[in-house]
Amino acid sequence: MYDLVVVGAGPYGLSIASHAAAAGLRLRVLGKPMASWRDHMPRGMFLKSEPGASALSDPESAHTLTAYCADRGIEVGHGRPLPLDTFTEYGTWFGSRAAPPAEDLTVTRVAPHQSGFRIRTAEGEQLTTRAVALAVGVLPFAHRPGPLRGLPAELASHSTHHRDLSRFRGQDVTVVGAGQAALETAALLAEQGAEPRVVARAPRLNWNTPPKPLDRGRLGSLLDPHSALGTGWPTWVWSRHPGAVRRLPTALRLHIARNALGPAGAWWLRERFEPAVPTLLGHTITAADRTAGGIRRVGNGPGSRVRLWLRAADGTARTLETDHVVAATGFAPELFRLGLLDSTLRETLRRVGDSDGPWLGHDFESSHPGLFFAGLLTAPSFGPAMRFVHGAGFTAPRLVAGVCRHVAARRAAEATRATGGSGHSPRVAVPRSATREAAAGEAPAPGREVKASR
């Protein structure tokens, strides 16, 4: 019997594991370290976030990205983009130094059990635990527009399906989306010898401006404060106070989670993108199918292509043909996509308002005791910071504090049953790294129970 099983070994999972080990919990960490970053993002990408906002979290704050780079002579700094591969290597190093070893096991089912939870893996292992922290990353929530879902993988894919874009050399590729993933994927495709275009519903592309100097004087800092996610008072709040975001009215909180820090390209990407990638903006894909008998730009024989039907904002319709469609259309924090969670448990969890995001207490515990969430699925509760690595520093200590309280209660109940009502359980200390807010035991807000409809 374990106290905690952490499902996922990305930035959130490794950060939670580091704090849980320091708290003395008996735990397992299941998942391939940094797998989504290493295996599901194209080579050549850069971090959009500042290095100082991309550190994983350990109780002593000793294993930061900045410290890792300094030890290896890697230049980092404000306004200097960092290669994605460097971040991946840092995360792997963090996992080997600051957290218990992660096991490369694939969790296929998390179900309620009389002792807490029963977990099964694709490799055949079964284990029981008092608490579970689901830190599964973004891959289960990859979103593709409806018209593209019926196309085979050789014709349409999500941006997370590609590590090596050189396979598209010489091909006509349509990238769908207007955010950083779409724009950088398109730029990399052009640099690999493909002929990409970007199609997006947005009427124009948004580009972030270069970051302002950190030292701007008192007045500049007061009027436009700097935070890990950018400048401005709203961004400062989302970045620094996710707990305050959780206490906002539900409708307002969901609006912020869905719309704040929306799609935009990094300032350093613009000069690479604009000369190389044509765009078709203000157009929505209404239908898609495969066309027979087309001639691919690579290879000698005939092959299928994709025909897209598009509608402009003024109602004008048009079609285009392409060799492949890459949907860089983001991720949807929806519980129905989380297939590893037992369906009965998943359907009875409370939701946040009209969303399919789980309702969470101040310590990231769901309405089912002992089931904790981290990462993207927590954005409807805690705001847009949870879409970024930066959110791990807020999440890990608070979540582990909640796990410690839950485990202490479970142990006490188990000891009472074992001794007929007179036993005492071993104490589990709430980590000091938990904030006053997390340790205060804030009363859960009322929630409604709904069933996932999809």
Instruction: Classify residue 438 by burial, with Cβ atoms within 10 Å: 0-12, 13-18, 19+.
Output: buried
Is residue 230 included in any domain, yes or no? no
Same domain, 159 and 115: no
The CATH number of the domain holding residue 300 is 3.50.50.60
Nearest residue to 269 (alpha-carbon basis) of 209, 333, 341, 329: 209
Per-range mean pLDDT, top range of 50-54, 367-371, 447-451: 367-371
pLDDT at site 301: 40
Using the 3D structure, point to which of 276, 293, 327 is the last residue of a domain.
327
Of 185-189, 266-270, 378-382, 420-424, the least confident: 420-424
pLDDT for 296 beyond 60: no
Same domain, 158 and 119: no
Same domain, 302 and 339: no
Same domain, 294 and 335: no
Angstrom CA distances, 136 to 149, 335, 344, stand at 23, 12, 19
Separation CA 127–CA 203 (nearest Å) = 51
Q: How many domains does the chain have?
A: 2
* Terminal alpha carbon distance of the chain: 34
Instruction: State what percent of residues in the chain have pLDDT above 70.
Output: 90
Residue partners of 305: CB distance under 8 A and separation at least 6: 155, 290, 291, 294, 296, 321, 322, 323
pLDDT for 433 beyond 90: no
pLDDT at site 220: 79
pLDDT at site 439: 40
User: Which of the four pLDDT bands, split at 50, 70 and 90, describes residue 451?
Assistant: very low
Is residue 237 included in any domain, yes or no? no
pLDDT for 189 beyond 80: yes
Length of the chain measured in residues? 454
pLDDT at site 309: 97
Residue appearing with tokens 């780079």: 69
Q: Tens digit of pLDDT for each residue in 250-295?
A: 999 999 999 998 899 999 999 999 999 999 999 999 999 998 755 4
Strand ranges (E), 189-299: 195-200, 226-227, 230-231, 279-281, 283-295
User: Which of the four pLDDT bands, split at 50, 70 and 90, describes residue 446?
Assistant: very low
pLDDT at site 346: 95
Separation CA 295–CA 171 (nearest Å) = 10
Residue partners of 131: CB distance under 8 A and separation at least 6: 3, 4, 5, 116, 117, 370, 371, 372, 403, 406, 407, 410
Same domain, 71 and 137: yes
Is residue 19 included in any domain, yes or no? yes
Tokens coding 310: 């598009």
pLDDT at site 419: 80
Residue appearing with tokens 């290669």: 83
Instruction: State what percent of residues in the chain have pLDDT above 90.
Output: 78
Per-range mean pLDDT, top range of 182-196, 410-424, 425-439: 182-196
Nearest residue to 243 (alpha-carbon basis) of 133, 134, 399: 399
pLDDT at site 49: 86
Separation CA 259–CA 447 (nearest Å) = 23
Same domain, 316 and 343: no
Q: How many CB atoms neighbour CB 159 within 10 A?
A: 24
Same domain, 172 and 74: no
Query: What one-character-per-residue DSSP string does 153-219 give?
Result: TTTEEEGGG-S-GGGGTT-EEEEE-SSHHHHHHHHHHHHTT-EEEEEESSSS--BPPPPPPS--HHH
Same domain, 202 and 100: no
Span 238-250, average pLDDT? 95
**DSSP 8-state code for residue 151:** S
Of 73-82, 343-352, 418-427, the least confident: 418-427
Residue partners of 88: CB distance under 8 A and separation at least 6: 34, 37, 38
Span 139-148, average pLDDT? 95
Q: What is the pTM of this model?
A: 0.90
pLDDT for 165 beyond 50: yes
User: Which of the four pLDDT bands, split at 50, 70 and 90, describes residue 429?
Assistant: low
Span 128-150, average pLDDT? 96
Same domain, 289 and 421: no
Separation CA 24–CA 432 (nearest Å) = 12
Nearest residue to 390 (alpha-carbon basis) of 266, 281, 248, 230: 230
pLDDT for 450 beyond 60: no
Residue partners of 26: CB distance under 8 A and separation at least 6: 1, 2, 3, 4
Is residue 234 included in any domain, yes or no? no
Span 107-132, average pLDDT? 96
Same domain, 80 and 159: no
Is residue 259 included in any domain, yes or no? no
One-letter amino acid at 436 equals R
Span 44-70, average pLDDT? 92
Q: What is the mean pLDDT of the chain?
A: 90
Same domain, 335 and 302: no
User: Which of the four pLDDT bands, split at 50, 70 and 90, describes residue 76?
Assistant: confident
pLDDT at site 368: 98
Using the 3D structure, point to which of 327, 344, 379 is the last residue of a domain.
327
Nearest residue to 90 (alpha-carbon basis) of 21, 127, 130, 38: 38
Is residue 256 included in any domain, yes or no? no
Q: Tens digit of pLDDT for each residue in 382-396?
A: 999 999 999 999 999
Tell me which residue range forms the domain holding 303.
146-207+264-327
More confident residue, 339 or 440: 339
Is residue 221 included in any domain, yes or no? no
The phi-psi region of residue 18 (left if phi > 0; otherwise alpha if psi is between -120 and 50; otherwise beta) is alpha
pLDDT at site 416: 86
Separation CA 49–CA 75 (nearest Å) = 15
Same domain, 379 and 416: yes
User: Which of the four pLDDT bands, split at 50, 70 and 90, describes residue 430?
Assistant: low
Separation CA 399–CA 27 (nearest Å) = 14
Separation CA 377–CA 273 (nearest Å) = 31
Separation CA 161–CA 107 (nearest Å) = 20
Using the 3D structure, point to which of 285, 303, 327 is the last residue of a domain.
327
Nearest residue to 191 (alpha-carbon basis) of 88, 45, 309: 45
pLDDT at site 441: 37
Is residue 158 included in any domain, yes or no? yes
Nearest residue to 231 (alpha-carbon basis) of 222, 219, 243: 222
